[in-house]
Amino acid sequence: MSRPTARKAAPKGEYIETDSGNKVSRRSAITGTANITLGGRTVIMADVVLRGDLHPTRAVPSSSGKEVTPTSISIGRCTVISTGSVIKPPSRISRGQTHYYPMKIGDNVFVGPNCTISAISISSHVHIGANVTIHPFALIKENVKILPNTVVPANMVISSGSVVGGRPARIVGEVGEGWGVSGGGAGTGLGVGGGSEEKWVEGGDLRELVRSIK
């Protein structure tokens, strides 16, 4: 068994940490980095695919006349994209041409392992379970929980506070009033809820989780 301290001292860690505290796995597959923005303290785990190369191709009007780099994926603060997930901006075909639309992911969003995400927007404090597929142009509002193995159909709007599950996804419940509230120092010690191995709460502030990822 290797001591954790020994691991830390290794020349190359699992993650590359940026100035704003983003942690990007060396084993992730990111294309079109210029078209991707990470808000800070966001984690991109191993085997995650970010398709930044699929950016809007339509002329972006710019006031200065300069070339503006189109954004394809923007991810907020303290968001975690778990291993094996694929983030691909949604596209539409018109007049035989494929047009990509920029995707926006908010703060404190947890994306579980092995998800495929093509939503147009995911708001803050959303928890997405493992193996979830979100089809193009789905719109997910704040404080939503998507159960594992759910398939969210294209264009579906999930209103805030919903719990959705199934194939295709349907509203199966509401998150409790206490959604995302860590309440009385769960920050120290153990968390709660499902799989309470972790020191964080679903839908809550993911800072602790981000800090613990090394």
Partner 1 sequence: MAQPFPYTYYACDCYDSNNTTSSKRASQILAAAEEEDRTFDPRSPRSNYSLYPLEHLLYCEDCQQIRCPRCVLEETLNWYCPSCLFEVPSSVVKSDGNRCTRNCYNCPICTSPMTVNSLDTSNDNGPPYILACPYCHWSTVEIGIEFEKHTGISSQLARIANGGKPIPTQKERDKERERRKELGSRKRDGRDVLSHSEDSPSTDTERDDPPPSHDDVFSNLGAFYKAQIEAQTPSNPFSPHDITFSSPSAYNRIMNLYSNTSSKRNKRQKPAPMREAASLIEGLTVHNPSADAAAIERIKKEGWAATLSPAQKLTQINPNIRFESDLRPIATLLCTKRSKRCRSCRHILSKPESKITSTRYKIKLLALNHIPRLSIRALPSTATMPPPPSSSTQQPQFNYNALNSGIPTHFLLHLSNPLFDPIRVTLATPSTTPGKVQSRVTILCPQFEVGANTDVWDDALSSSLSPIKRGSIINADGQIEAGKIWDRGRNWTSVVIEVVPGFLKPVAGFGQQVDGADGEEELGEDEDVLEIPVFVRIEFEADVNAEERGLGDARGSKGERERREEAFWTVVGVGKIAGM
Residues that bind partner 1 (CB under 8 A): 1-4, 135, 141-143, 147, 151, 153-163, 165, 168-173, 175-179, 181, 183-197, 201, 212
Q: How far is the CB of 75 from partner 1 (least distance, A)?
A: 20
Range 63-83 burial, b when 16+ CB lie within 10 A, else e: eeeeeeebbbbbbbbbbbbbb
For residue 97, give both structure tokens.
Answer: 């041409």
Q: How far is the CB of 146 from partner 1 (least distance, A)?
A: 12
For residue 28, give both structure tokens.
Answer: 């992730």
Choose between 113 and 165: whose C-beta lies nearer to partner 1.
165
Q: How far is the CB of 5 from partner 1 (least distance, A)?
A: 9
Choose between 30 and 147: whose C-beta lies nearer to partner 1.
147
Q: CA 95 to CA 84: how far, in whole Å?
A: 33
Closest CA to 22 of 50, 42, 36, 37: 42
Choose between 17 and 174: whose C-beta lies nearer to partner 1.
174
Q: How far is the CB of 64 from partner 1 (least distance, A)?
A: 32
Choose between 35 and 150: whose C-beta lies nearer to partner 1.
150
Half-sphere exposure (Cβ direction) of 19: Cα atoms closer than 13 Å: 0
